[in-house]
């Protein structure tokens, strides 16, 4: 049986932080207080993240099922996006189609161009979709298209990032909590002492900056760890590998560990191997890196999962289906907890004959990543058993 982590897995992360008073913000008061303290605490959350009451609490779909779904993708050029697209097209949509709840999905791709994505969202609405999912988009630039959709009865669901409007249902890991878990895991491996290089994702983006704040706190809170420098890997293995190679070539002094946001660990591992130096590297969800750990147990003690793409798609699609069915989401953002796996737990997912060059990502399972989604709805029910 596969390991089924819960929120308690990351409870140690809370212990090292000094939090303020219990959150009582409207929109979270219907949730479990322990969940709110952990994932909705303002001190560990992007201040612009919407956590008030969902604007979709009383939403009623304008049409009965089967529903036509739009997927406004903002990018398709890395392994994370490839796995996400494969999951939705080849697993999720066929499942919900067979249940008689989805008729088809229309996909657009804007190549990180906000203006293009704004137009594409309007086009999806005009083509008659009943709901739209979107990923990792500018939180405010999309607002005009979000409202265009909303005024025509088309709700939008944002995953791995948020939209600022309360009529969008957002879902993602709490990135600052996730970053803290990554930093704390490495601090524990180092015994609370050492010199560390931090590798950011894309500086200036809310997702990257939130993770970075968490990583630094997790590394240094209550420890004697020194963060010696920071480089940017742009969430891309090749970029991270090149930047780290340059940094190592010009910094021959002792360095104990390299901590980066997941999506770059394969490149970081390659750069360290090529340097011939003995340096620990944080491992996340890339299967190639996890395979390297599977075959070399001593290189790490744990791996923190912060945004498994296939699980992210499974969760956002279920949130969308529940909302279309009238279950009524309670809060504007459904926050996920990071999942930390030790070697034995990782080995249940990654076989011995794995491929160290794999371009795919670990899939935990939506029941592990999303947990109990009933708690986020006013009228929870099994969405797969829905009969209009």
Select from 144, 168, 263 the least CA-distant residue to 211.
263
pLDDT at 119: 96
CA count, 13 A, side-chain hemisphere, 84: 26
The two tokens of residue 72 are 């406004």
| pLDDT for position 202 | 87
**Comparing 53 with 136, which gets the higher pLDDT?**
53
Instruction: Read off the pLDDT of residues 123-154 as tens digits, 9 standing for 90 and up.
Output: 999 999 999 999 887 888 899 999 999 999 99
pLDDT band at 26 (very low <50, low <70, confident <90, very high): low
For the cut 50, the answer to whether the pLDDT of residue 11 exceeds it is no
Residue range 164-213, pLDDT digits in tens: 998 999 999 999 999 999 999 999 999 999 999 999 998 887 889 999 99
Contacts of 334 (CB under 8 A, 6+ apart): 169, 170, 171, 315, 319, 373, 376
**Among 171, 134, 174, which Cα is nearest to 47's?**
174
Residue 18 burial (10 A CB sphere; 0-12, 13-18, 19+): exposed
The 3-class SS string of 294-337 reads HHCHHHCCEEEECCCHHHHHHHHHHHHHHHHCCCCECECEEEEC
What share of the chain has pLDDT > 90, as a percent?
84
Look at 16 and 47; give whichever has higher pLDDT.
Answer: 47
- For residue 4, name the pLDDT band (cuts at 50, 70, 90): very low
Rounded Cα distance between 305 and 298, Å, is 19
Contact between 83 and 360 under an 8 Å Cβ cutoff? The reply is yes
Under a CB-based contact definition with an 8 Å cutoff, are residues 101 and 107 in contact?
no
Other CB atoms within a 10 A radius of the CB of residue 251 amount to 12
Q: What are phi and psi of 282, to 5 degrees?
A: -70, 140
Task: Please spell the DSSP secondary structure of 236-266, one letter per residue.
Answer: -HHHHHHHHHHHHHH--S---EEEE-TT-HH
Measuring CA to CA, which residue among 230, 141, 213 is closest to residue 175? Answer: 213
pLDDT at 325 over 60: yes
The model carries a pTM of 0.90
Q: What is the pLDDT of residue 1?
A: 34
Nearest-angstrom CA–CA distance, 295 and 69? 41
Among 58, 385, 17, which residue's Cα sits nearest to residue 214? Answer: 17
Give the pLDDT score at 20: 35
Hey, what domains does the chain have and what are their CATH numbers? 7-45 (no CATH), 67-174+309-337+362-383 (3.40.50.2300), 176-305 (3.40.50.2300)
Q: Considering the chain, what is the average pLDDT of its residues?
A: 92
Give the CA-trace dihedral at 367, 175, 245, 273, to 10 degrees. Answer: -30
pLDDT of 386 above 80: yes
């Amino acid at each position: 049986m596969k390991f089924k982590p819960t929120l308690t897995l990351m409870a140690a992360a809370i212990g090292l932080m000094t939090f303020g008073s219990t959150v009582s913000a409207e929109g979270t008061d219907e949730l479990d207080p322990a969940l709110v303290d952990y994932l909705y605490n303002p001190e560990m959350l992007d201040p612009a993240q919407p956590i008030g009451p969902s604007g979709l609490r009383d939403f009623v779909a304008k049409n009965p099922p089967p529903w036509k779904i739009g997927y406004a993708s903002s990018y398709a050029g890395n392994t994370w996006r490839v796995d996400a697209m494969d999951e939705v097209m080849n697993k999720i949509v066929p499942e919900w189609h067979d249940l008689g709840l989805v008729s088809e999905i229309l996909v657009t791709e804007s190549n990180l161009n906000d203006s293009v994505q704004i137009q594409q969202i309007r086009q999806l609405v005009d083509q008659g979709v009943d709901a739209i999912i979107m990923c990792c988009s500018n939180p405010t630039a999309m607002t005009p298209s979000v409202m265009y959709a909303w005024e025509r009865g088309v709700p939008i669901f944002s995953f791995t990032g948020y939209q600022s409007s309360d009529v969008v249902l957002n879902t993602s890991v709490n990135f600052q909590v996730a970053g803290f878990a990554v930093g704390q895991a490495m601090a524990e491996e180092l015994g609370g002492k050492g010199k560390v290089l931090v590798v950011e994702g894309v500086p200036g983006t809310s997702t990257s900056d939130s993770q970075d704040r968490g990583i630094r706190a997790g590394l240094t809170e209550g420890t004697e760890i020194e963060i010696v420098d920071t480089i940017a890997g742009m969430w891309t293995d090749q970029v991270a590998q090149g930047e780290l190679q340059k940094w190592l070539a010009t910094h021959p002094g002792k360095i104990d560990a390299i901590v980066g946001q997941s999506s770059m660990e394969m490149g970081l591992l390659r750069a360290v191997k090529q340097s011939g130096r003995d340096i620990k590297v944080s491992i996340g969800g890339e299967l190639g890196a996890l395979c390297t750990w599977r075959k070399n147990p001593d290189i790490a003690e744990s791996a923190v999962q912060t945004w498994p793409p296939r699980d992210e798609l499974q969760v956002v699609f279920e949130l969308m289906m529940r909302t279309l069915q009238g279950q009524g989401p309670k809060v504007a953002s459904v926050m996920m907890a990071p999942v930390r796996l030790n070697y034995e737990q990782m080995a249940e997912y990654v076989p011995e004959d794995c491929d160290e060059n794999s371009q795919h990502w670990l899939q935990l399972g939506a029941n592990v990543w999303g947990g109990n989604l009933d708690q986020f709805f006013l009228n929870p029910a099994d969405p797969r058993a829905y009969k209009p």
